[in-house]
Structure 1
């Protein structure tokens, strides 16, 4: 059997890795391998569980086997597996649920179990992750578990309960047959919005999550926002930290208070210097990666007054051409990356906005791969299905879109749970919803076609540079702190 082939005997997997008495701390010690993905599957039982059942642990194994079936999950040989029963006494339960002051750090890491026990617990860890992901399974009640334990069979396990397990495994790439190989040069995808607050960053989150589902190791992915107006932590950053995805949430270009006026006065770095920093940041992050998701800012023209609009940033983020004559100089000649445009609800207005914003990128030679239409309503005249039908007709029959290989890659529903303190708890669900409405493989294939293009971009963006006052003494350049203090004193609103 080859290393990347699958083990199809779930019965053997359960039996060979079964332990009747798993310690609480084993959740972390057994599921924290630095080189392998690990899956822990445990039954959490209180000490008052019927001891006659505990003695017959072989009766509970069919329930484990029913939840992880060969035709639902086939794990690679490199995945480490651990399973068994964790017996909790009253003190341990109090520690877990915050009713004791002497709980240890490991106990506090595990969430408080449901009110009624026993309950199944999944523990998943990938080599890139700083901590173990744990989840109590809600698809089986304590009563159902006890009844099946007494009966010694699991004929009544619902498809819903099985799906809950599969969804978790899918979210961490544990259902992918073979991880995609790391290419010589990372694929770069620039995500731009056709307006403000269209859900561009949540689309980036969906892309990263779907790439993990497809089997890409998190540490072979990367996320960067080269230019930003908002320096507050974003949900995509928290997801990257959880999964171990390299992330640069605040890039070299920040539109802070007073920046624009200071730029026009010649008191900041020039457009060329800022874009050179963008190139360096993206190039450095892309080393050794498979896919880099590059998040734009606002709508395409944001930053144009400073020469750092989305089209210019996308050009600066494109692939360095290592064969060009300038590859020994500070500025590589570059080959274009592809842009995914994020649009909103509508039909005529959505297509009009797409064409207008696509033209903005085309003017500097940066191709648009296509679009994803986001935040669509489940019903009404502009429902997801109605918009999908009409917009697809347009793209399928428009010669210009067909000639340029542009198409809609997804029509995604409005998802309202990505706000608030518990937003991270809903990320995996959002990613699953996104995957149901987005053609990830189609986007990757189109992005590869653009990457393999022989078209070379100019070293600098076309068009006249932004006008700036001439500053004879470069020492007059002011620091960000000085610029912001002056802006605040002049009445500028707080930065985002």
Structure 2
């Protein structure tokens, strides 16, 4: 299948529930507000182990944005054992090929496609289908969603970006999400100040000069918000109807409650307050109106 001309953006994180999908929701909303129509956009989570309905899926459903919320690779119970026992590199290549095929099919006729990652950088590596391997196969720039804190935020971000760089990925920058406001050790202002200060400079990893990490663009620090705390039950290994793209699932057989719509509006407003989306899309060379 020919590669799509749509702009892709791969959103990766440091861990599960890091705020990646909510960040995707906010990005889609921002694009709708700046000259893009729903038919210009698409969203896909090509590898997942959680099949619970996510707010970004609700947002896409509400606004008529084409979306694939699970697949073509779903990590069901016992799949890791199978990957390791089979030890089949060709099977790993085929999984990557299925993801690339699904993304390009979804991207046909679109201008911007968000690819939502799973967990941290190397999740899926036991099946040769890690975030970094997928991003490289798609030739997609990567936006990383980091942690709260200072030392842990920096160290985990370095670990993740080096893994993506190892596979030849372009890490366009980072957003730090769920930054704690009530942490007795690091205030929000200090998290923002010192993490930004660190990444504004390039830093050597101590191995060799050629391994020096370049400065990393930081597009914002999103604090926790008590109004956005919600428990999303993660259900795994559930079956629901297949989308017309082979091996993928897209749910549209549900209603979005007014409560959920209000939550989505609050999430978008909160992210837009703390993220410099103009700088992000400038780095991607994406035209906005």
Q: Could you state the TM-score of these two structures normalised by the residue count of structure 2?
A: 0.79
Among residues 375, 378, 381, which one is paired with 2:181 in the alignment? Answer: 378
Shift of 1:198: 1.4
Residues 34-85 of structure 1 show CA distances to partners (whole Å, capped at 9, x for unaligned) of: xxxxxxxxxxxxxxxxxxxxxxxxxxxxxxxxxxxxxxxxxxxxxxxxxxxx
Structure 2 SS opposite 1:412: strand
Paired residues of 2:201 and 2:214 also in contact (CA < 8 A): no
1:188 correspondence with 2:188:
no
* SS of match in other structure, 1:397: coil
Q: Distance in 2 between matches of 1:311 and 1:212?
A: 28
Distance 2:202 2:215 in 1: 11
* Mean Cα deviation higher: 288-297 or 267-276: 267-276
Alpha-carbon distance in structure 1 between the residues aligned to 2:108 and 2:181: 41
RMSD: 2.4
331, 351, 358: which one aligns with 2:161: 358
How many residues align? The count is 248
Task: Name the structure 2 match of 1:283.
Answer: 104
Cα shift at 1:382: 2.3
Q: Pick from 201, 206, 221: which aligns with 1:397?
A: 201
How far, CA to CA, are the matches of 1:265 and 1:358 in structure 2? 29
Q: CA deviation at 1:206?
A: 1.5
Unaligned runs of 5+ in 2: 205-210, 232-256
SS at match of 1:370: strand
2:281 to 441, 444, 447: 444
**Partner SS, residue 448 of structure 1:** coil
Structure 1: distance between partners of 2:112 and 2:190 = 32
Report the counterpart of residue 252 of structure 1 in structure 2.
72
Q: Do the aligned residues in 1 keep the contact of 2:200 with 2:215 (CA within 8 Å)? A: no
Higher RCO (CA < 8 A, seq sep 6+): 2
- Determine the C-alpha separation between the residues in 1 that align with 2:200 and 2:79: 43
Q: For residues 213 and 378 of structure 1, what CA distance do their matches in structure 2 show?
A: 29
What residue is the counterpart of 1:387 in the other structure?
A: 191
Where does structure 1 lack aligned partners over 5 or more consecutive residues? 1-183, 319-336, 450-496
* Pair 1:220 & 2:40 matched: yes
1:88 corresponds to: none
What does 1:121-140 align with in structure 2 at a 5 Å threshold? none
Within a 5 Å distance, the mapping from 1:55-70 to structure 2 comes to: none
The answer (yes or no) to whether the contact 1:418–1:427 under 8 Å persists in 2 is no
- For the 8 Å contact 1:220–1:288, the answer to whether it is kept is yes
2:254 is matched with which residue? Answer: none
- 1:402 shift after superposition: 10
Provide the C-alpha distance between the structure 2 equivalents of 1:190 and 1:240, rounded to a whole number of angstroms. 17
Is 2:20 aligned against 1:200? yes
The equivalent residue for 1:23 is none
- The equivalent of 1:340 in structure 2 is 143
Query: Are 1:241 and 2:61 counterparts?
Result: yes
Q: State the Cα distance separating 1:425 from its structure 2 match.
A: 2.0
State the partner residue of 1:229: 49
Supply the distance in 2 between the matched residues of 1:282 and 1:441 (Cα, whole angstroms).
25
Measure, in 2, the Cα distance between the counterparts of 1:358 and 1:403: 9
Indicate the structure (1 or 2) with the bigger Cα radius of gyration.
1
Task: Report the secondary structure of 1:209's partner residue.
Answer: helix
Distance in 2 separating the partners of 1:402 and 1:448:
25
> Partner residue of 1:414?
224
Q: Do the aligned partners of residues 289 and 199 (structure 1) sit closer, same or farther apart at CA in structure 2, a change above 3 Å counting? A: same
Report if aligned partners of 1:303, 1:310 keep a CA contact under 8 Å in 2. yes
- Equivalent residue in structure 2 for 1:264, among 80, 84, 89: 84
Q: Name the TM-score, length of structure 1 as normaliser.
A: 0.47
Asked whether the equivalents of residues 227 and 253 of structure 1 are also in contact (C-alpha less than 8 Å), the reply is yes
CA distance in 1: counterparts of 2:29 and 2:212, whole angstroms: 29
Tell me the equivalent position of 1:302.
Answer: 123
SS of 2:221 mapped into structure 1: strand
State the distance in 2 between where 1:304 and 1:402 align. 25
Q: What's the counterpart of residue 369 of structure 1?
A: 172
What does residue 274 of structure 1 align with? 95
Q: Taking structure 1 as reference, are residues 246 and 405 closer, same or farther at Cα in structure 2, changes over 3 Å only? A: farther
Trace 1:476-495 onto structure 2 (pairs within 5 A).
none
